[in-house]
Amino acid sequence: MLALYLTASRWMVPLANRKLATRLIEGKEDPDRIEERRGIASHPRPQGELIWFHAASVGESLSLLDLIESLIDERPDINVLITTGTRTSADLLQSRLPDQTIHQFVPLDARPFVRSFLDHWKPDVAIWTESELWPALIHETHDRNIPMISLNTRMSKDSYNKWIRIRGAAQVLLNHFDLFLTQDKITAEHLLRLGASPDIVQVNGSLKESSGALPYDEETRQAISSSLETRPVWLAASTHPGEEDIVATAHRMAQRASPRLLLIIAPRHPERGPDIAETLRKQGWRVALRSEGVEPDAVMDIYIADTLGEMGLWYRIAPFNFLGGSLVPIGGHNPYEPAALGSAILHGPHVANAQDVYDRLDAAEGARHVADPQGLGEAVIHLLEPHTSAAMAHAAWEVSSEGAQASESAFTEIIAALDRSVGGN
């Protein structure tokens, strides 16, 4: 099946171009950089050693930045290429890329596009993050004897069930890699059952756990804190459709105990902000939108933080948060980000994407499971007591601070792979 896919991928260009045309119409591609998706670079390759990182999207790409800075500090002459597949990730990375680091969109998995990409960039080491497995990209990279490491690897049960149906193809692809550094034991077990050699699978923990705190602007934080006039505040972060109604119901309960309480909603997809605001206004809420340049004040009920790159600000302002994607079947989102910034965590039952982490946070009383609007409202009221939320936030921070080893191990393995690659050339 893998051979069939690779053969077909030689002739995928017309299909890939139609897909790109559709994505352009839908606003999912940057028209000024569309050629990058065909493997045509928009930057020259810098001279010297080049480490290539591929990250699936926003969270994965941001979790790499501290590691990249550490690598450049160690080897000032190296260059770094980071590829992603979404416009959102590109926009966020634009202002945060370390020196000597270039961003490009990853080519679609058609072999002519992949070959054009690799012919230009000629990376000395290739690093995949999380669970992106593109057969043509992996095969062509391996075929050029470029060392490959899968970093922060995570494979959900659903992904495993899909790959096990084509175990032979999975086994070949997995063993093209030199090393897998997995987030958890479950992923390691999945890889081994799919046929990965035990010699290349190591449980390493999550890189997100050891990544630096999300950035923020201190002047903005002070200005918002001043405009709130000591109002109590809580945050609903990375919410998905269906969750805004739940948190609004919980907020109504909590306002009976604390009438001045403000709810900040930061939707996972900020473009949903105006629709969320319209729905909530129809329910009688006083709502304002961050994207309209309004700051939270002393009278509004709900503030929609529908902007990119400001989660570090909201986690610092709110002493506790509900982390979305967990009361609807999404699988949950990265709890390390709020934990590292001293924001206690409430979450629903759907956290399979990081089940072991949530279990650790719950066991340490740094996070709390809620099942419905009633439970969320009761938890919010409970955490309005400053000493309660502070104790829970400290416990979450302690869990988040245990992960420095993951980054250190990744750093060591990448430097070793680079030395082997350069030495072999």
Residue 69: per-residue pLDDT: 86
Residue 63 covered by a domain: yes
60 carries an active-site annotation:
yes
Q: Which of 29, 36, 49, 60 is catalytic?
A: 60
Whether residues 180 and 65 share a domain: the answer is yes
Whether residues 410 and 386 share a domain: the answer is no
Whether residues 177 and 242 share a domain: the answer is no
List pLDDT tens digits, range 360-384: 899 999 999 999 999 999 999 999 9
Residue 211 covered by a domain: no
Q: Which of 115-119, 172-176, 201-205, 380-384 has the lowest mean pLDDT?
A: 201-205
Residue 57: per-residue pLDDT: 66
Q: Which of 17-21, 244-248, 345-349 has the lowest mean pLDDT?
A: 17-21
Residue 248: per-residue pLDDT: 98
What is the crossing angle of helices 2-9 and 167-174, to 10°?
A: 70
Whether residues 392 and 415 share a domain: the answer is no
Residue 66: per-residue pLDDT: 78
Residue 404: per-residue pLDDT: 61
Provide the pLDDT confidence category of residue 20 given band limits of 50, 70 and 90. very high
Residue 171 covered by a domain: yes
Mean pLDDT, residues 223-244 taken together = 94
List pLDDT tens digits, range 52-106: 999 876 767 777 887 888 899 889 899 999 999 888 888 888 878 888 999 999 9
Runs of H (alpha helix) within 261-403: 273-282, 311-317, 336-340, 355-363, 373-383, 386-400
List pLDDT tens digits, range 347-361: 999 998 778 789 989
Residue 133 covered by a domain: yes
How many structural domains comprise the chain?
A: 2
**Residue 182: C-alpha distances to residues 80, 102, 190 (Å):** 22, 26, 10
List pLDDT tens digits, range 263-300: 999 999 999 999 999 999 999 999 999 999 998 888 89
Whether residues 118 and 200 share a domain: the answer is yes
| Mean pLDDT computed over every residue of the chain | 91
List pLDDT tens digits, range 164-200: 999 999 999 999 999 999 988 999 999 999 999 999 9
256: Cα separation from own chain's centroid: 36
Whether residues 141 and 229 share a domain: the answer is no
Whether residues 199 and 289 share a domain: the answer is no
pTM across the whole model: 0.65
Whether residues 237 and 127 share a domain: the answer is no
Identify the DSSP state of 299.
Answer: S
- Which residue, chain included where needed, has tokens 């062509």? 140
Identify the DSSP state of 423.
Answer: H
Q: 99 and 69 in contact (C-beta within 8 Å)? A: no
Question: At 283, which CATH number?
Answer: 3.40.50.2000
| Domain around 223 | 218-400
